[in-house]
Structure 1
Amino acid sequence: MARLKVENAWVEFPVRLTRNISAGISRTGGRIDFERSVVTALQDISFELREGDRLGLMGHNGAGKSTMLRLLAGAYPPCRGRVTSVGRISTLFNTMPGLSMDGTGRENLITCGLQLGLSRRSILAKMDEIIEFAELGDYIDLPVRIYSAGMLTRLGFSIATSVDPEILLLDEGLATGDAQFAQKAEHKLHDLIARSSILVIASHSESLLANMCNRCVLLEHGRILSDGPAQSMIESYRASVVESARADDAEALHRAYVLATDMARRGERPPLDLEEQGLRYALTVAPDDAGMLQRYVSVLIAQNKAVDAELEARMILTVLDKDPSRTELVDRLRTILAGSPVLSSAIHHRAITATAPAPVVDD
């Protein structure tokens, strides 16, 4: 029976620090220890997984999710504490598991399969199935250096997902190739997950974690902040992202955008407070996007929040740039100009120009 146990594990990396680096915790990553010249990537990690567990790793970029996966895989031995496991561990961190550019596709099937822990007999038994899934035709016997990027991904993904895992460690960033191959690859991946006894997946996607996991841990600066049922952890994480984004934390604003976009892509409506913060980030990238400005204003109104004159004027101006015939918006802009002396000079100038009477042309 598969089992994975982590007891008070620490992962530290020795580094060479210059004098202008201060000790402590940065916005991302682990703790920097100037005196010992190490970065503590994970500290005092403890949890246990048994057969049937599906664990999601949550947290901002640099929180320690990828390091945690590599600790569980044995790639990073703990400098303190220990990790014990029962069952075969399979890792899917990328779709290029040791590909040799000089070898043929068929030769790479064997060498990469061996690297993933498969026996030669098992590889040969799966060979035809893997080749058929990769859809490479006669190219399977040609050097992979002549493959396109899409062909390389197809080959790598086909090899990486040929394992029979008991404990599966999965990074959300696993590539699945072009759009035509993506749906087929997604089914393959879900089948692989279903066959695993224990799953640990690192992801930013709320929907993915909610659908795949029964438990989540939230990491921050290499520590476990909380551990619990997936849905409650997701809601807690979302609330923390929104709170930090409201305080103008740049990383949190981006995370809010990623979470809201992911939900919308999957056909779910993001909560208004999350969508608001996601739109704030999006408008820093495309400040004159009329559709996003209108949506942002509507989200504020739906939450009974005031819409300041500067924002409303920006929204109206972006609409008028495309459709200057909207006389009701011109009238509203005149009202804003009459009652709001706090517009920025750039918006004020644009508003004056947009509301100026049309010149009279003499016959």
Structure 2
Amino acid sequence: MVGLRVDGAWVEFPVPRGRRGAAHGHVGGQIDVERGVVTALGDVSLELREGDRLGLMGHNGAGKTTMLRLLAGAYPPTRGRITIIGRVSTLFNTTPGLNFDGTGRENLVSCALHLGLSRRQIKAKLDEIIDFAELGEYIDMPVRIYSAGMMTRLGFSIATAVEPEILLLDEGLATGDAQFARKAERRMKDLMSRASILVIASHSETMLANLCNRCLLLEHGRIIADGRPDTLIDNYRRSVVQLARESDPEGLHRAYVLATDMARLGEMPPLDLEEQGLRYALQINPDDQMMWQRYVQVISAQGRQVDQATEIRMILACLAVDSSRADLIHRLRALHRSGLDEMPSDLGERVNAVLAHIESARAG
């Protein structure tokens, strides 16, 4: 019987002298100035049984990695307790304690022992691991001469040789070049299917929805929601978009992080989420031509009218890249004739300056 239970667990770290008093921003846990600690995880309780597939959701710094390390035993709870029945296997990185002076074969044995395999298991899997790593004669050479890709292949091959009962997985696990990544993906799917219990931290909504039967949403080290992946994902996304629409700074930042993470993973962000993510990004890079064009496209795609100020800002960003665009100059003049009274004064001044510069250049 395999199982995992967490009862009221806390993970707290002391705050170095001179750094107390700063409240958390977009990331990180709660700072207790009086006690001089940062609460990375607070009052966490959960129970997992055989067959459970748990996804950990939340923005960067929400506590996902700390939760994995708590379950792995790397961070003992400062309060509360954890009860584990079964062998825990962790996949947090692809270089699990490599000794750069040792050979690939020597590292294979020492790292596999570190991951909990017995010498008998290592002997039985040795040829399979070596073949999978595709290192050829380099397996008997010092790891210090390996390229980054070779080290990744060796580490991944060792790390995924475990026989998992309770598998803790960080989605950020590197898998090397594209050809090896395809093989690694198949191996990861097989590994996850063989685990009795899986806990995975991921920014990919698609991955969590496909793999998990339950998700936890973390925020500043606390569980704020627990439920089915599809329901939790939809509710979280709606709450982020709503906060961003209200111009809440943290809501805008989360919309940006969520949208960019989805795009990085090859997923298309929903239009309402992408819109708010672009609003945040344009605060950082207010003259980015491509972002302004995409922002206008996203608004139009939702069946909404693009307001005058937004259109003007897009045109100005485009003209800054190519001032010869006659179509944009014509449109800017039309908007100028319609009156600038309803626009912010600084934007009106910019329009006047650009049009004056264009006229001056033509006259010259």
TM-score, normalisation: structure 2: 0.90
Report the Cα offset of residue 278 of structure 1. 1.9
Number of the residue aligned with 2:176:
177
> What's the secondary structure of 1:358's corresponding residue?
helix
Q: CA deviation at 1:251?
A: 5.2
Contact 2:94 2:155 in 1 (8 A): yes
State how 1:139-178 maps to structure 2 within 5 Å: 139-178=138-177
Structure 2 CA distance for partners of 1:100 and 1:265, relative to 1, 3 Å = closer
Task: Name stretches of at least 5 consecutive residues in structure 2 with no aligned partner.
Answer: none
Aligned-residue offset at 1:99: 0.4
Whether the aligned pair in 2 keeps the contact of 1:23 and 1:33 (CA below 8 Å) is no
Mapping for residues 189-200 of structure 1, pairs under 5 Å: 189-200=188-199
2:357 aligned partner: 353
Alpha-carbon contact 1:171-1:203 (below 8 Å) kept: yes
Alignment partner of 1:253 is 2:257: no
Structure 1 contact 42–67 (Cα < 8 Å) conserved? yes
Shift of 1:156: 0.9
* 1:8 match: 8
% identical equivalent positions = 66
Partner of 2:292: 293
- For 2:76 and 2:101, locate their aligned partners in 1 and report how far apart those are by CA, in whole Å: 32
- Counterpart AA for 1:45: V
Work out whether residues 206 and 259 of structure 1, in 8 Å CA contact, stay in contact via their aligned partners in 2: no
Residue 248 (structure 1) shift: 4.2
Deviations 1:160-200 (A, max 9, x none): 11111011101111111122322221121111111111111
Distance 1:253 1:132 in 2: 47
Is the aligned partner of 1:17 residue 2:21? Answer: no
TM-aligned CA distance change 1:251 to 1:116, over 3 Å: farther
Structure 1 residue aligned with 2:226? 227
Matched letter for residue 29 of structure 1 = G
Corresponding residue number in structure 2 for 1:202: 201
SS at 2:269 equivalent: coil
Which residue of structure 1 aligns with residue 340 of structure 2? 340
- The answer as to whether partners of 2:59 and 2:257 remain within 8 angstroms in 1 is no
Equivalent pair of 2:40/2:63 in contact (CA under 8 Å): yes
Distance 1:235 1:155 in 2: 38
How far, CA to CA, are the matches of 1:331 and 1:172 in structure 2? Answer: 50
Are the counterparts in 2 of residues 10 and 45 from structure 1 also a CA contact under 8 Å?
yes
The alpha-carbon deviation at position 294 of structure 1 amounts to 2.0
Q: 2: CA distance between counterparts of 1:190 and 1:351?
A: 59
Structure 2 residue 63 is the aligned partner of structure 1 residue 64: yes
Q: Is the 8 A contact 1:54 1:212 kept in 2?
A: yes
Pair 243,355 (structure 1): closer, same or farther in 2 beyond 3 Å? farther
SS at match of 1:16: coil
Gaps of 5+ in 1: none
Amino acid in structure 1 at the alignment position of 2:237: R
* Contact 2:244/2:252 (8 A) holds in 1: yes
Instruction: Measure the CA separation in 1 of the matches of 2:125 and 2:170.
Output: 24
Q: Identify if the C-alpha distance between structure 1 residues 15 and 22 changes in structure 2 by more than 3 Å, giving closer, same or farther.
A: closer
Matched letter for residue 229 of structure 1: R
3-state SS, counterpart of residue 13 of structure 1: strand
CA shift at 1:95, angstroms? 0.8
The 2-side partners of 1:86 and 1:170 are apart by 18
Is the partner of 1:340 in helix, strand or coil?
coil
Distance 1:227 1:288, change over 3 A: same
How far, CA to CA, are the matches of 1:247 and 1:98 in structure 2? 47
Query: Aligned partners of 2:8 and 2:215: how far apart in 1?
Result: 18
Partner of 2:81: 82
Structure 2: distance between partners of 1:323 and 1:119: 66
